[in-house]
Each structure stands twice: as structure tokens, then as C-alpha cells.
Amino acid sequence: MSPDNARQKFFGTDGIRGRVGTQPIVPKTIVQLGWALGEALRAEHGAGTVVIGKDTRISGYMFESSLEAGLSAAGMDVMLIGPLPTPGIAYLTRSSRALAGIVISASHNPHYDNGIKIFSGAGYKLSDELEVKIETLMGVAMKVVDAAELGKASRYPDAAGRYIEHCKATVPDDFSLAGIKIALDCANGAAYHVGPAVYKELGADVDCIGIDPDGLNINDGVGSTHMEAIQKHVKAFGADIGISLDGDADRVLIVDADGDVVDGDAMLYLMAKARLRQGEEVPGVVGTLMSNLGIQRAVEAIGIKFERASVGDRYVMQLLQKKNWKLGGESSGHLIDLDKTTTGDGIVSSLQIVRELKESGKTLSQLLDGVTKFPMLMINVDISAAGGTDAAIICGVDVIQNIVREAEQGLGKEGRVLLRPSGTEPLIRVMVEGKDEQQVDHWCRRIASCVEQQLIEYS
């Protein structure tokens, strides 16, 4: 089995994710995962500590206990954090010198999904090589260490307070948000308690929604996948900016005072432009295959190189490290600021935008003046009912590829077509971009229809 195939059995582009109660998101498998991680770490480092945090979905209790049992069986101590943003767990893993950090979260998905993300001791996503080792151990019978060597569990002291201070430390010590009105949506997720605290302690006038989690309402009509909630709230509150986090707060989207959405592409441009104003060098930024052509041109117009990685934050990170650049991200709002964090951080990213808003004295719409995004349409084709059909095989079918080529010829150099399987959901994503909105709509719908027809024939 090749490393790629081995990793793909459980690990996708963002850890392991699925429906609770369906393999692999069941207690027995998650116990085995905890043990496999512990075994892999112990073989490389000896006994040590693993940090576990989660978002607010109800199944987190079950999987927290499962991971704790598996890690203890492998002789690993565990420090339990409870609900905290994914980037907060990455930060605390690094600062506490733990061997690894685990996040129990399905990010922007509904409450009935869950997943596992794992960070190295340095706060980065696991290497492919370590994921392959874990995959291999997932198929091995669990062997419990001697009773005297079993791992112990304890609560992480003041985890929320430490992460709040880390977020505040990403802006200057004398920086104040006094006079700025912020509408904040925490998605009833992991940032429900720390998100409001960060902005309030920096002096902002903050009004919040999505801060009353009950285990079932995470991402339910709120958060960065439901921008209508923050659009309505920013107008009702008369805010200067609206900030909408996803369920585990590693992603963020914002809206201006008029309620217009500013996506991750535009936020990346604003963060790069802010650094130039602050006198910093910005040799380049990394977007993805989904990044808008208009944003690429806007970034290049201010003298900054723009390169594209495959979709997924691990690929953005890989290209950033290869180029030795600092800024990268996705249109979904997963933004990486490598001299401040080791992974996407919705709170930290939004702070950089709010800082620019305050220090420049301009509105968001003024800061984005001159940026023209190309019309873009994405249609997600659901493949969950296709009987396990391989999405990559469907994407490569001749009849589909012929239409893709026809679309590319019709769009010319001013357009793009992207057809790819989702790395986190049972979907095939069809994206078309170009200068002519009607042409974009025509080709995107035609390709999506062809994909749907092929799914019927294969299922």
C-alpha cells in the first residue's frame, strides 16, 4: 500500500471526519486511534503528554473519553482542555511542550458529524509519514502497557486565559480597539467564551451572537457557513465590522458596515496590504486553486507575488514553508499567518484586519477600493448516494473531461474551470470563473449536470 493510499483510509486533507456512529467515527475506532497515536509517539519520543481539546458538539464527550482511554493504554499522559478553538489547542500543545495535540471537531459541519485533527508537538498538522504509521497501527491488535506505566489524565490549567493572551499578543502592546464596534458570531462553537473576551479586552464595543452552545446548535444557522446571520446582526448593531467564525474557529469571514461579505481571498489581500503599510516586506502570498483571479491581480498590482496551492490548508502550509513566505489562505476563510500562528486562526486573522481598520482610519469598503473580483460559481454535487463510487474516477471520465476542455476554450485566458473531489465531505466541487457572468453560469451548470448524470450511470 502506498503512503497516499494508506493515509487516505482514515485521514483526509483535514484529519478524520464523518457521521457520528458510522465508521470511523465510533468509540471503538477512536480508542484504537488514541492508542495508535500513543504507540507511534512512544516509539519516537518515549512516554510523554498529549493535549486533547474539542468544540461544543455533544459527541465530543464520548470521543474525548475514547481518546483518553487509548492514549492511557499506550502509556501516554493526557491533558484535557475542553472546548477551545482548534488554533488554541495547537498553541497550547506547543507552549506546554506536549508530544502532540488532538482536536475533536468537525469544523463547519453540523452537530451530527465529528472528527479528529492531530497536531505535532510544534503545533503543525501531522506529517504524512506519521499519519501512515498511525494508519498501520490502526490495524494492529491493541497491547496495553503494564499497569504501572499507564498514562494519567489531568485538566489543563487556565487554557482559555492562556489562549486569549496569545491572541492579544499578535497585535502591538499599546494597540486599542476603543471606538470600534464589532458584531461577532461564534457559531455556538469552540470560540463562544474566548472570542468575545479577546475583542473586549482590547477595548472594542462587542455585540455577540452564537455564544450559547447546547451541544446540538453548533453551526446551526450561524457561523461562517451562514453569513446571513452576521449580515443581519452587523446592521442591527450599527457595527464597523462583522466577524463570523466557524465551529472550531480556525476559519473566519467578515462583513463590512453595509453587510457585504468579505471572503478569505479578500481578507488575504487586506492582510498583505496592511503589512506593506506597516513597513514590512511581503515577498509573496499563497492562495489556492479556488482563489479568485481578481484577487490575484489585486495582490500582484501592489507588488506582491501570488502562487496557488492545491485546496486544503496542509497544501497552503507546504507551499508557504517551501517559499519561506508568511501569508496564505483559502477563500473559505482559513488563513495562515506564520509569524503569529502555526495553523489557521480565525480570531488572530480577524484581529489583523480590525487593526488595519483602526490604524488606517478607513472603512473596509475603502480598503478594498479598486479590487474587482471575477464572477465565480461553484456547484457541489452530492455523491453520498452513489454507493461508494470513487469521486476521482468520476472526475476523470472522458465525457466530463471533454466538456471541461470545451468550457476552458470558451472562457479563454480570462477564465478557469476547477473540478475536484472535496477532501472533507462526500461532494464533487465544480467551479467556473470568468469575466462574463452568464458564460460562467452556463458552463458551471452544464459540467455539474454531466457529473450528476455520470453518477447515476456508475451507481
CA distance 128 to 121: 15
Please tell me the predicted confidence (pLDDT) of residue 119. Answer: 97
**What pLDDT score was predicted for residue 222?**
98
Instruction: Taking residues 235-241, report their average pLDDT.
Output: 97
pLDDT > 70: what percent of the chain?
Answer: 97
pLDDT of residue 394: 86
**Is it the case that residue 256 has pLDDT exceeding 80?**
yes
Q: In whole angstroms, give the CA distance from residue 148 to residue 177.
A: 52
Which of 6 and 310 is assigned the larger pLDDT? 310
Q: Is the peptide bond before 24 cis (omega within 30 degrees of 0)?
A: yes
Q: Sketch out the chain's domains with CATH numbers.
A: 3-158 (3.40.120.10), 166-367 (3.40.120.10), 376-458 (3.30.310.50)
pLDDT tens profile 384-394: 877 666 888 88
Look at strands 100-104 and 113-120 and give their pairing: antiparallel
According to DSSP, residue 241 is labeled E
Helix residue ranges per DSSP H, 278-373: 293-301, 313-323, 346-360, 364-367
Q: Which of 48, 99, 93, 10 is nearest to 343 (CA)?
A: 93
The answer to whether residues 14 and 107 touch, using CB atoms and an 8 Å cutoff, is yes
Interval 410-416 mean pLDDT: 90
| Count of C-beta atoms within a 10 Å radius of residue 138 | 17
In this prediction, residue 15 has a pLDDT band, given cuts at 50, 70 and 90, of: confident
Instruction: List CB contacts of 315: < 8 A, sequence separation 6 or more.
Output: 13, 288, 309
Q: Is a pLDDT exceeding 60 seen at residue 354?
A: yes
Q: What is the per-residue pLDDT for 459?
A: 65
In this structure, of 61-70, 298-307, 364-373, the range with the lowest mean pLDDT score is: 364-373
- Alpha carbon distance 206, 455 (integer Å): 47
Residues 404-414 have a mean pLDDT of 92
Least confident of 62-66, 87-91, 226-230, 397-401: 397-401
pLDDT digits (tens, 9 = 90+) for 89-104: 999 999 999 999 999 9
Lowest-confidence pick of 61-70, 186-195, 263-272, 420-429:
420-429
For residues 38 and 50, the answer to whether their CB atoms sit within 8 Å is: yes
The residue among 373, 174, 415 whose CA lies nearest residue 261 is 373
- pLDDT band of residue 127 (cuts 50, 70, 90) is confident
What's residue 71's pLDDT? Answer: 98
Q: Which pLDDT value is given to residue 4?
A: 42
User: Is residue 107 flagged as an active site residue?
Assistant: yes
Q: pTM higher than 0.85, yes or no? A: yes
- Torsion angle (degrees, nearest 10) of CA 252, 266, 170, 246: 0
Active-site residue, from 66, 72, 107, 244: 107
Choice between 455 and 333, residue whose per-residue pLDDT is larger? 333
pLDDT of residue 416: 92
How confident is the model over 298-313, as a mean pLDDT? 94
pLDDT digits (tens, 9 = 90+) for 159-179: 999 999 999 999 999 999 999
The one-letter amino acid at 25? I
* Mean residue pLDDT across the chain: 94
- 190 has a pLDDT exceeding 80: yes
Q: Is the pLDDT of residue 5 over 60?
A: no
